[in-house]
Homo-oligomer: A and B are copies of this chain.
Amino acid sequence: MTTAADRVSRRQVDKFEERRRQLAEGALQTLSERGYARTSLREIAQNTEFSHGTLHYYFRDKVELIMYCVRQYKAVCVQRYDAIVADSATADGLARGFAEGLAATCRDDALLHRLWYDLRSQSLFEESFRPDVAEIDGSLERMIWRIVDRYAELSGQEPTCSSAMAYATFDGLFQQSLLRHLSGSDLALDDLRAGARHLLSHVVCA
């Protein structure tokens, strides 16, 4: 049973969250273009229809805003691959879908991934980033492992390495591909596709 007051309160919370989401979206845009250290809250606000005071109204401080942003983004990232897992009926199909997914997001969301690597680096120095970054990193690792696990199942093989190892190598590959793609290399995406399939078949499952 909900009272009228409950509904009002609920609506306000929703509105508040919605605005946070909206501001984070704009912030993500600006952050991904300029990088964490070079982006001020004022600058973020300017790419928004709100004042910079508003940012402080919705987020306690810069760290909270940034973490909200990246968490929001990575949540989407992780989900993307679960559909691929669910939709693939063969090992090869999964490998192809996964490789294509990586390449697609490397191409389409390059700046956001760049921001992620920036923030992950910052977290090595900035204590306050640690918890959130670690959590996101964990969810990425689990996501990769769902791929590997399913690939092993479909191909009747066994994973030959830990999930940490699997994530490390795929991440290394993706990071380099991103770098090359951003540098204008035309081969980056193709190499990423090929590399991902190679890793899947040679490193992770034997």
Contacts and interface: CB of A to CB of B under 8 A. Distances in A.
Nearest to A33: B125
A125 B172 contact: no
Interface stretch (A77-85, A94-102, A158-166): A158-166
B114 A118 contact: no
B169 A199 contact: yes
A181 to B, nearest CB: 11
A127 to B, nearest CB: 11
Interface in A79-135: 114, 117-118, 120-122, 124-126, 130, 134
Contact of A124 (B114, B198, B203, B206): B114
Please give the count of copies of this chain that the complex contains: 4
Given A172-B171, A172-B175, A203-B203, A195 B165 contact: yes
A117 B125 contact: no
A15 interface: no
Contacts of A114: 124-125
A176 B182 contact: no
11 contacts: A34-B125, A36-B37, A117-B124, A121-B122, A124-B179, A164-B176, A164-B180, A164-B191, A165-B198, A168-B175, A172-B172
Interface of A: 34-38, 114, 117-118, 120-122, 124-126, 130, 134, 137, 160-162, 164-165, 167-173, 175-177, 179-180, 182-183, 191, 195, 198-199, 202-203, 206
